[in-house]
Chain A
Amino acid sequence: MITFLQTYGMQLLLKTWQHLYISAFSLALGIIVAVPLGILLTRVKSIANVVMAIASMLQTIPAMALLALMIPFFGIGAIPAIIALFIYSLLPILRNTYLGMEDVNPALIDAAKGMGMTGWQSIIKVEVPMAAPVIMAGIRLSATYVIAWAALASYIGAGGLGDFIFNGLNLYRTDLILGGSIPVIILALIVDWLLGKLEAVVTPKTSHA
């Protein structure tokens, strides 16, 4: 363990950083696209089913295949990996945003409108705060997926902790495999914990208790 850290310590830090960077970028993109899209779908329900079906379909493409598919379009490196992972992060966020928004008590929306809120004010001040816990749950789920699958990104030369794992697999070196996997697990747990904290912050208070 000590010797492993002495040998690979610096590399481990670098790869962890790369891993985190790829994951964070993908997730951020996913949030930026999926949350507004999910909100939009609650306004234009007619296309909701179609969009959801497309997102589900993208989710079913095997991760390896999707990464490989990126190469003809974006070459190799971090960018195709980020794009592939972004596609994966979409569905959980999109679905939870849509469901969370749909689930907001219609009486509240009616009251908001009846009191003279514009559609936009109703979304920002009422619906999104109410749907926040559900949306956050989707984001946490996506974050865990993305961090786990980012390990595969090494396959198309994106770097990250996947490098250790693939090297270990090629060289039959258990220490390398574990040295890559364990940080991925720890990373996923930490990020999930942090997002959990964030969820508590964005979840609106409804009592003092």
Chain B
Amino acid sequence: MEHLNKTYPGGKVAVEDFNMEIEKGEFVCFIGTSGSGKTTTMRMINRMLSQTSGTIKLNGEDISKMDAVKLRRQIGYVIQNIGLMPHLTIRDNITLVPKLLKWPQDKMNERAKEMIKLVELPEDYLDRYPSELSGGQQQRIGVVRALAANQDLVLMDEPFGALDPITREALQDLVKDLQERLGKTFVFVTHDMDEALKLATRIVIMDGGKIMQVDTPDGILRHPANEFVENLIGKDRLIQARPSITTVGQVMLKNPIATTPGKSLTDALRLMHDKRVDSLLVTDEAGILKGMIGIEDVDYNFNSATSVDDIMNRDIFYVQSNSLIRDTVERILKRGFKNIPVVDDQHRLVGIVTRATLVDIVYDALWGDEEEDEESNNIHHVDETPATEVDQTGAEGGDQQ
């Protein structure tokens, strides 16, 4: 699917010089304040509105040259007010587009059953009327109605705006799941940033008919293009999002204390003593992580073993430096490790995450707002906090800085 320049001045400019290309299978969210042109843009895709200039192409074909009615039948459409026909049963509502396309009756029946299963509602609901369903159930039907005729592209205009938060979340999960499972392309208009961040593979932020930023949710959180985008995201979210977009590499302590397998236990013990740590990471000459030894191991085996290689623990837990904190923090906390070595793509040791580092992350997530100025001093900050009480090893790693 290909989008080209669309401008839409109509006395008032609603959408100005909009350029975008949407790939198949993407979940694109248009977000912006009221009057930002997001709905206008979306409605131009199925020609509910016609653009003043510019072209929109669907699968390489200019939609303005297509028959508008046929075009709309191959694009799913879900609106905020649900838009189920109150005088038609759920079955007839679901098969509305197939009926327009003159599918045979038995195929439509089958489709209706398939669709209602997709949204996890009982089959006997098919013979009910929309008013006999709850708002959330109605919108579930609204969503599958947009898929019933095998539409590859689905447009949604604030479809969950009128639902309560719990129902909304359930429907968001449903839509996301359907999108991932069925590989449909979604264009989703919303003014709810949480919704956009949750659902989208790419977010288009609009203001005054212009695109402010187009990026992935992570990209937008990480690099808001301008003040407007920052405000739209909200300061709270930017701070909360930090653990979710920060990588391990950004918070780890660099220059961890390491030794090599060939060293003797005496050397290792001396190194521990000098650096005031209770364990050492073991790497080979190329810096590849091999294992770890603790002071307990040294103490226990001091008389029987000679080199680090003999006693080091080879089966250790480590994380990749480019993995997200969001994904790792919980694992680290749950396993109760004191120190987690951090490696790069080539499995080379590049740093260490200690429990003190974790304290720092949690601390930042909660009070990061006030600490913003000190952000760059994160590492030193560890030393100032009474980290030694939490952890007697890793904090000292900071001494090497």
Residues of chain A having any CB pair with chain B under 8 Å: 105, 107-108, 110-118, 121, 125-126, 129-130, 204-208
Contact = CB atoms under 8 A, between A and B. Distances in A.
Contact of B79 (A114, A126, A129): A114
B23 interface: no
B189 interface: no
Interface in B126-159: 128-132, 145, 155
Contacts of B86: 108, 130, 204, 206
Nearest to A107: B81
B174 interface: no
B87 A204 contact: yes
B96 interface: yes
Interface stretch (B69-77, B191-199, B337-345, B359-367): B69-77
A114 B87 contact: no
A39 B87 CA distance: 19
Contact of B83 (A108, A116, A129, A206): A108
Interface string B71-114: 11110010111111111000000001100100000000000000
A116 B97 contact: yes
Contacts of A111: 77, 79, 83-85
Nearest to A110: B79
Contact of B69 (A116, A129, A207): A116
Q: Give the bracket for the number of chain B residues in contact with chain A.
A: 20 to 34
Contacts of B82: 107
B46 interface: yes
Contacts of A112: 85
Contact of B129 (A105, A125, A207): A207
Interface in B47-77: 48, 69-74, 77
A32 to B, nearest CB: 24
A204 B130 CA distance: 13
A141 B46 CA distance: 42
Chain A CB within 10 Å, residue with most, of B70, B72, B145, B155: B72
A116 B81 contact: no
B128 A129 contact: no
A59 to B, nearest CB: 32
A110 B83 contact: yes
Given A107-B82, A204-B86, A114 B128 contact: no
Contacts of A113: 48, 72
B79 A107 contact: yes
Nearest to A130: B87
Contact of A118 (B48, B69, B96, B155): B69
Given A115-B97, A116-B70, A121-B100, A208 B128 contact: yes
A104 to B, nearest CB: 10
Contacts of B128: 207-208
A206 B79 contact: no
A206 to B, nearest CB: 5
A116 B130 CA distance: 20
Nearest to A113: B48
The 5 closest A-B pairs by CB, nearest first: A111-B83, A204-B87, A116-B73, A107-B81, A114-B77
Contacts of B132: 207-208
B214 to A, nearest CB: 25
A116 B155 CA distance: 13
Nearest to B99: A125
Nearest to A129: B87
Nearest to B84: A111
Contacts of A115: 72-73, 77, 96-97, 100, 145
Interface string B357-384: 0000000000000000000000000000
A108 B83 CA distance: 5
16 contacts: A107-B81, A108-B85, A110-B48, A111-B77, A114-B46, A115-B72, A116-B70, A116-B72, A118-B69, A129-B87, A204-B87, A205-B87, A206-B129, A206-B130, A207-B131, A208-B129
A114 B131 contact: no
A129 to B, nearest CB: 5
Chain B CB within 10 Å, residue with most, of A105, A107, A129, A206: A206
Contacts of B74: 116
A116 B100 CA distance: 8
Contacts of A118: 69
Given A107-B83, A125-B85, 19 more contacts: A105-B81, A107-B81, A108-B83, A110-B83, A111-B77, A111-B79, A113-B72, A114-B72, A114-B79, A114-B83, A115-B96, A115-B100, A117-B69, A121-B100, A129-B87, A206-B131, A207-B129, A207-B132, A208-B129
Nearest to B72: A116
Nearest to A209: B132
Contacts of B97: 115-116
A120 to B, nearest CB: 10
Nearest to B48: A114
A206 B138 CA distance: 13
A208 B130 CA distance: 11
B148 to A, nearest CB: 10
Contacts of B80: 107
Contacts of A125: 85
B100 A117 contact: yes
Nearest to A109: B83
A51 B160 CA distance: 41
A31 B96 CA distance: 30
A115 B149 CA distance: 10
Nearest to A117: B100
A208 B133 CA distance: 12
